[in-house]
Amino acid sequence: MALEEDLYKSLLEESKLYREKVSTIWLQKFTLLGAVIGFAVAQSRITTGQNPELIAAAVLSLPVIAVFLDIKLGEFGIHANVIDHFVKRHYPDPAVLGEWERTNWGLGADKSDRRLIRIRSILTVAVTVIPTCIIAVLSGLALKSIPGFAAPGWTMPSVFVFCAIYIGAGYGSIPLVLFRR
């Protein structure tokens, strides 16, 4: 029994650590946003002769990195979900543990709890995908302001299409990552 109790405590601690990593990655995304804003402010100092293609590539890498951070957030959410489902299946006593895990993932019987879980999930997705879209828009605008770099006319329409698809994909990820109902 002591080994099972240790495993249970270890699993809960691991799940907690994964949830804590979410805020760390969110702060990294704001750092990226600051980089885009810093570039926009400093762009007036960039001259045509300073390799505008390299600067454009750096600006374009920001939304790509933000997407990778979002993927990592999804990984953390899935891992925490797996841990909590394991706890629910393998630790039936006391029954309140399993009930908490069902409630936490939107599987509980109480409709008001499920509604709150859905709101929590929508908010989680919103604060994940919206900053990435902001980074993409600012990067698109920054591309247009690089001296010596001719940003294609389809840059901003592409950014908006990306954002629409990304928001849709984020919304679609809610059942997989954040709750099961």
Asked if 80 and 17 touch (Cβ cutoff 8 Å), the reply is no
Asked if 62 and 35 touch (Cβ cutoff 8 Å), the reply is yes
Q: What is the dihedral of CA 79, 71, 42, 149, to 10 degrees?
A: 170
The amino acid sitting at 179 is F
The candidate with the shortest Cα–Cα distance to 120, out of 70, 174, 66, 48, is 174
- Full-prediction pTM beyond 0.85? no
* Long-range interactions of 151-157: CB distance < 8 A, separation 24+: 151/56
Q: What is the pLDDT of residue 71?
A: 87
In tens, the pLDDT along 160-172 reads 999 999 999 988 8
Q: Residue 47 has which token pair?
A: 């001259």
Q: What is the pLDDT of residue 56?
A: 81
Q: Which domain holds residue 7?
A: 2-177
Q: What is the pLDDT of residue 181?
A: 46
Segments in the chain below pLDDT 50: 48, 181
Q: What is the pLDDT of residue 108?
A: 81
Q: What is the pLDDT of residue 158?
A: 93
What total number of domains does the chain contain? 1
Q: What is the pLDDT of residue 167?
A: 94
Asked if 98 and 88 touch (Cβ cutoff 8 Å), the reply is yes
Q: What is the pLDDT of residue 166?
A: 94
